[in-house]
Amino acid sequence: MTTGAVNDGQTAHRNSPEANIREPREPEGTPPWLTESHPSPVEASSKVTARKRMRMLAVVCAIGLLGGLAVGVCFLVKFLMKPVVTQSPTELEDTKEMSLCNVSDDFAITDPRKVFYRISSVNSLLEIQREEWKTWLPVCFERWNASLGTSICKQLGHLRLSKHKGVNLTDIGPNYTAGFVQITSEHRNQLENIWRFRGSCITGKVIALKCFECGTRSKLPRIIGGTEATLGRWPWQVALHHSSKHMCGGSIITSQWIVTAAHCVHSYRVLQVSSWLVYAGIVTRSSGILAERSGNLVEKIIYNKQYNHRSHDNDIALVKLKSPLNFTDTIRPVCLPRYNQDFSGGTRCWISGWGYTTPDDVHIPDTLKEAAIPLISTKKCNSSCMYEGEITPRMLCAGYPEGKVDACQGDSGGPLVCQDENIWRLVGVVSWGTGCAEPNHPGVYTKVAEFLDWIYQTIENY
């Protein structure tokens, strides 16, 4: 409320009718203190009664004072019997602050899925497990179609189906004796609800499946004890340049699509798309290296329409290249998370980028940097000692409570990846944070698992 509003209120109060009512004065004539008066018998009786009341009131007050004194003595004795703590007021405040920050991570995460999918690394068979089944079961060829294969590949974090076929049971050996899974006729039901247990397959065939390959990298040596990444270690990492200037990082998810942050691109209009270049398969940004490698032209930039530039909620965008990338040992796509996949707090993940190496530095390093950081549960990150409720369900946090390791300016849009069995998944996109590597202010990332439908639909529509 402004000062002017307060003054207006006071003026209105003074001008109210109640303010003009005057209290009555004493009657005119002889002043009362000069007037001689004699008490009547009734008045004398009243005075005696008043004296009794005063004595009783004095007794009650005395009892009250004695009781209060006794209580005070008890508290004093208890205080003197407490152990002496030699701690300064500053130390007490630090202890209070630490107790507020002592929020444990939520390690027990219940999986909401009822059906689990996997592709056997031995024979590429699609295998399914339901809650009530104790083992993985192969899928009968009956009623199978390619659209189901695509849906399952997306459930597994792959963009599309590569190939599928029926395999004779006689060719896979006697290992599958616990039964099979078959698709029911209710194809319009949810993917979880169309599977039924069968003792045998009528056609004598089961499904072998191969999804779009992602999340793998060639086995290249790493700099021991260093923070510089070797070529091919993070083959999905790209650099986004606008008008020959490094702007942000990004992650390859298909040969033509890059995931980045909405705040990197949302202010640029369609007419400026030609000013963007994407560099893939590099770790060094020196002018000589970039001159040797021509950047990839951009065809479309699509950011999430729900993006809020103030809170950075829904901070995700897709960049479509004019020409597809040629995948090599140093240029490969990363896998997306599985549907409903949630990594627990404490999971060790990795970030990479060309961002500032110190918060007060304005120099973008030439060589790609990498760092391992743990995920932080949303409960802990939203606590009063960190971001006090600013973390939405579409965000996640990663870093150390003491700071020291973090993404910074220039890393925006880049990947936060976590290893899931043998593949790497794009769990987060570098989004925002308070400062860089400050204690109790970890990096905040866009939670990719919340945008899978948006990603798939956007790629299909464009």
Query: Smallest Cα–Cα separation from 194: which of 159, 237, 145?
Result: 145
- Identify the CA nearest to 396 among candidates 332, 316, 323, 318: 316
Q: Given the residues 352, 383, 412, 431, select the one marked as catalytic.
A: 412
Residues 6+ apart with CB under 8 A from 392: 311, 313
158, 164, 263, 312: the catalytic one is 263
β-strands 395-398, 317-321: how paired? unpaired
State how far the Cα of 370 lies from the Cα of 348, in Å rounded to an integer. Answer: 13
Q: What angle do CA 32, 37, 43 make, to 5 degrees?
A: 115
315 an active-site residue? yes
* CB contact at 8 A, 214 and 335: yes
Is 246 considered catalytic here? Answer: no
Whole-number Å distance between alpha carbons of 323 and 301: 14
Nearest partner of 427 among 408, 410, 445, judged by Cα: 445
The secondary element (H helix, E strand) that includes residue 98 is helix 89-101
- Rounded distance, CA 317 to CA 448, Å? 11
Q: Where are the beta strands (DSSP E) in 22-158?
A: 115-119, 126-130, 137-138
Q: For this structure, is 363 an active site residue?
A: no
Question: Out of 312, 313, 315, 342, which one is annotated catalytic?
Answer: 315
CA 416 – CA 438 distance, rounded (Å): 19
Tell me the C-alpha distance between 393 and 378, whole Å: 8
Cα 62 from Cα 81, distance rounded (Å): 29
> Catalytic positions, please?
263, 315, 412
